[in-house]
């Protein structure tokens, strides 16, 4: 709808320039928006105000010229008025809205799907949690965001891959092994020391018990045992991470192992590339990359003097590999505490001539948990924290995903367990789902009354004459452009707000007017409108990874 109006305005401008009604000038950006005041029509544009600077008259004069010469062969616009400081308010003819609703019903699950992305290859790397412990809430937030972005990007015509990067080697995996080993020893000797930087948490004991049952650890010397425990412990944790994510409706196309970068020679290759550019140097026994030449505030070490490569080294190699695999765009979702890393990685990419906007990093802020009116303090060191699995088991996937996705990822999230646990009206999630279930219920009711949808909705839809009904269709019509906008600005929280608004409008309408009545065609028309609402809610929730139940 918006696009159609934009075309009309553009044609009108062309005409006005050609015929000299308006002084020819570059068209400044103008906006077509949906006014919140119903007196301002269905759409409004600031076009006249944007042009006024280069024209003779005031915005009002310009607006009048535009309205007088509107190129509208199909009588799309019913009414065009000037308001405020020079806005042009458009009221669209009812027939156009009926057509739109008919189109929604026709397209069903595909309504809102677009080819915006033109099959462009994209990758979203997210979660990428270390395989040293269970997923916490921050990971969950990242998982929900990453997965939903992928769903939306896919729906918008991008060719999207989901990837999980596994830090499966190095210091932290070794510490995992040492932690398990120590716990195992403590079973028989409680005084056996626990590493100072070891992983707290009961899951370490559980792993020790489990592995001790499967493998004979007694004969091994400590080094061998620790290596074995590192390997087995890591694999078990990884399997659990994968399961927890699957339960959270998140699946990855590829689990990329850091160790593969070493075994495949990609680490060496990346180093050679940097060396060829003359950006590698040795100092103090360590190997450095001159990232300061590319916007970083200092140079960075990729190999320590003890010979170990740093995380940064494999990150460079990994991102070079992403580039080489031919992705047009790459999105990383990181915890906010990693933001210092962004310039570093981008500097390394810039050194290879990779453009700065190729990689986009989204930072996830913390999740705070509230219960009984107080914050649940979490501490990783003391292993006092609620895992994603625990939360999901407690309140359900739908609620967790919806709440995680309902806030912009740049601001910290307060998660009120009490609120979300309640399966009643206080719960923000059920509000939207209820609207969907309610429509389903209406159709069950209509079926009993032997009222069915007509073959061709066109004629019946003319029974929709109320302002509220047109307003609902207009709300429905926003869906495709909203999805496109989200695909561009990567802010899916707006979808949760939109769905809540749509549900609210529908609940309100439902309470004021009967859908199924003795008047058959009116009932059919209102059922068609309800169906339109249902389709949008279903498609929207689907993109959020939340169920749309037929009954609750």
Q: Which of residues 173-232 bind RNA (CB under 7 A)?
A: none
518 binds RNA (CB under 7 A): no
21-40 residues near RNA, rule: CB under 7 A = 31, 33-37, 39-40
Report 274-293 residues binding RNA (CB under 7 A): 283-286
Strands ordered across the beta sheet of 374-376: 374-376, 367-371, 413-416
* Smallest distance, RNA to C-beta of residue 506, A: 9
Quick one: DSSP state of residue 130? -
Instruction: Measure the CA–CA gap between 158 and 172, rounded to whole angstroms.
Output: 36
Residues 260, 265, 268, 273, CA torsion sign = negative
Closer CB to RNA, 172 or 524, in the complex? 172
The long-range contacts involving 145-150, CB below 8 angstroms and separated by at least 24 positions, are 145/333, 145/362, 145/364, 145/404, 145/405, 145/409, 145/492, 146/250, 146/331, 146/333, 147/249, 147/250, 147/545, 148/401, 148/405, 148/492, 148/543, 148/544, 148/545, 149/124, 149/331, 149/490, 149/492, 150/124
Residue number with CB closer to RNA (161 or 526)? 526
The yes or no reply on residue 502 touching RNA (CB under 7 A) is no
DSSP symbols for 322-333: HHHTT-SEEEEE
Q: What are the residues facing 280 on neighbouring strands?
A: 289
Q: Shortest approach of RNA to residue 312 CB, angstroms?
A: 7
Shortest separation between residue 48's beta carbon and RNA, angstroms: 9
Residue 437 contacts RNA per CB under 7 A: yes
Which of 3, 18, 445, 452 forms a contact with RNA (CB under 7 A)?
445
Q: How far is the CB of 551 from RNA (least distance, A)?
A: 3
Smallest distance, Å, CB 396 to RNA? 11
Residue 111: which of 359, 490, 391, 483 has the closest Cα? 483
Place of tokens 């992983």: 199
Cα-only R_g, the chain: 29
Interaction residues for RNA, span 107-136 (CB under 7 A): 130
Question: Which segment (109-117, 272-280, 389-397, 501-509) binds RNA by CB under 7 A?
Answer: 501-509
The distance of closest approach from Cβ of residue 23 to RNA in the complex, given in angstroms and rounded to an integer, is 16
String of contacts with RNA for each residue 41-70, x by CB under 7 A: ---x-x--xx--x-----x-----------
CA distance 225 to 37: 71
Q: Does 507 bind RNA (CB under 7 A)?
A: yes
Q: Is 485 in the site for RNA (CB under 7 A)?
A: yes
Q: Which is nearer to RNA, 388 or 405 (CB)?
A: 405
Neighbours of 53 (CB within 10 A): 10
> Least distance to RNA from the beta carbon of 489, Å?
3
Q: C-beta of 88: minimal distance to RNA in Å? A: 8
Query: According to CB under 7 A, which residues from 373 to 432 bind RNA?
Result: 406-408, 410-414, 419, 423-428, 430-431
Whichever of 55 and 99 has its CB closer to RNA, that residue is 55
Compare residues 153 and 161 and give the one whose CB is closer to RNA.
153
To the nearest whole angstrom, how small is the minimum distance from the Cβ of residue 98 to RNA? 21
DSSP letter (8 states) at residue 310: P
Minimum CB–partner distance for residue 499 and RNA (Å)? 11
Q: How far is 278 from 349, CA to CA, in rounded Å? A: 15
- Burial label for 138, CB within 10 Å (0-12, 13-18, 19+), is buried
Residue 544 · residue 155 · CB < 8 Å? no
Residues 323-342 that bind RNA (CB under 7 A): 336-341
- Cβ distance to RNA smaller for residue 388 or 516: 516
- Smallest distance from RNA to CB 204, Å: 16
Instruction: Return the residues of window 138-167 that contact RNA according to CB under 7 A.
Output: 167
- Residue 285 burial (CB count, 10 A): 10
254 binds RNA (CB under 7 A): no
Q: Which of 113, 121, 266, 304 binds RNA (CB under 7 A)?
A: 304
Of 311, 328, 354, 376, the one binding RNA (CB under 7 A) is 311
Task: Please say which residue, 218 or 306, places its beta carbon nearer to RNA.
Answer: 306
| Total binding residues toward RNA, as defined by CB under 7 A | 91
Q: Tell me which of 22, 63, 66, 89 binds RNA, using CB under 7 A.
A: 89
Q: Between the CA atoms of 477, 483, 484 and 488, what dihedral angle is there, to the nearest 10 degrees? A: 150
Copy the structure tokens of residue 410: 């740049």
Instruction: Tell me how far, at minimum, the Cβ of 487 lies from RNA, in Å.
Output: 10
Q: Give the span between the Cα atoms of 207 and 484, in whole angstroms.
A: 46
Other residues' Cβ atoms within 10 Å of the Cβ of residue 32: 18
């Amino acid at each position: 709808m918006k696009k159609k109006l934009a075309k009309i305005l553009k044609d009108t401008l062309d005409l006005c320039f050609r015929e000299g009604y308006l002084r020819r000038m570059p068209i400044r950006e103008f906006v077509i928006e949906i006014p919140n005041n119903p007196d301002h029509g269905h759409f409004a544009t600031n076009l006249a105000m944007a042009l006024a600077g280069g024209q003779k008259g005031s915005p009002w004069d310009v607006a009048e010229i535009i309205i007088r010469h509107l190129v509208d062969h199909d009588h799309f616009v019913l009414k065009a008025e000037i308001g405020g400081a020079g806005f042009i308010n458009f009221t669209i003819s009812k027939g156009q809205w009926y057509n739109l609703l008919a189109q929604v019903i026709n397209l069903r699950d595909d309504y809102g799907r677009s080819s915006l992305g033109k099959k462009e290859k994209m990758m979203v790397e997210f979660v990428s949690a270390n395989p040293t412990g269970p997923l916490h809430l921050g990971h969950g937030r990242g998982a929900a965001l990453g997965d939903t972005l992928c769903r939306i990007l896919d729906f918008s015509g991008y060719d999207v891959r989901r990837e999980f990067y596994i830090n499966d080697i190095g210091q932290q995996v070794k510490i995992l092994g040492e932690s398990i080993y120590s716990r195992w020893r403590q079973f028989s000797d409680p005084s056996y020391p626990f590493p100072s930087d070891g992983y707290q948490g009961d899951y370490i004991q559980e792993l020790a018990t489990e592995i001790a049952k499967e493998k004979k650890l007694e004969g091994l010397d400590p080094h061998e045992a620790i290596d074995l425990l590192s390997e087995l412990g890591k694999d078990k944790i990884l399997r659990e991470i994968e399961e927890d994510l699957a339960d959270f409706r998140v699946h990855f196309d590829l689990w990329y192992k850091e160790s593969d970068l070493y075994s495949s020679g990609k680490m060496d290759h990346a180093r050679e590339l940097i060396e060829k550019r003359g950006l590698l140097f040795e100092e103090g026994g360590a190997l450095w990359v001159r990232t300061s030449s590319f916007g970083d505030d200092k140079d960075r070490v990729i190999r320590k003097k003890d010979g170990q490569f740093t995380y940064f080294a494999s990150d460079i190699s990994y991102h070079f590999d992403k580039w080489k695999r031919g992705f047009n765009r790459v999105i990383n979702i990181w915890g906010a505490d990693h933001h210092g890393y962004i310039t570093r990685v981008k500097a390394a990419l810039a050194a290879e001539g990779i453009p700065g906007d190729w990689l986009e990093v989204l930072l996830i802020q913390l999740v705070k948990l509230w219960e009984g009116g107080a914050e649940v303090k979490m501490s990783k060191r003391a292993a006092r924290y609620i895992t994603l699995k625990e939360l999901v088991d407690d309140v359900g996937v739908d609620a967790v995903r919806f709440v995680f996705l309902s806030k912009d990822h740049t601001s910290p999230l307060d998660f009120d367990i009490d609120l979300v646990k309640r399966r009643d009206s206080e719960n923000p999630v059920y509000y939207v789902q209820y609207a969907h279930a309610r429509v389903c219920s209406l159709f069950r009711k209509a079926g009993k009354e032997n009222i069915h949808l007509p073959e061709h909705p066109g004629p019946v839809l003319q029974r929709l004459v109320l302002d509220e009904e047109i307003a609902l269709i207009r709300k429905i019509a926003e869906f495709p452009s909203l999805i496109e906008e989200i695909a561009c600005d990567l802010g899916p929280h707006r979808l949760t707000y939109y769905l809540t608004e749509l549900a609210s409008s529908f609940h309100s309408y439902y309470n004021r007017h009967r859908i199924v009545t003795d008047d058959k065609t009116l009932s059919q028309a209102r059922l068609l409108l309800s169906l339109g609402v249902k389709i949008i809610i279903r498609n929207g929730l689907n993109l959020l990874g939340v169920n749309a139940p037929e009954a609750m």
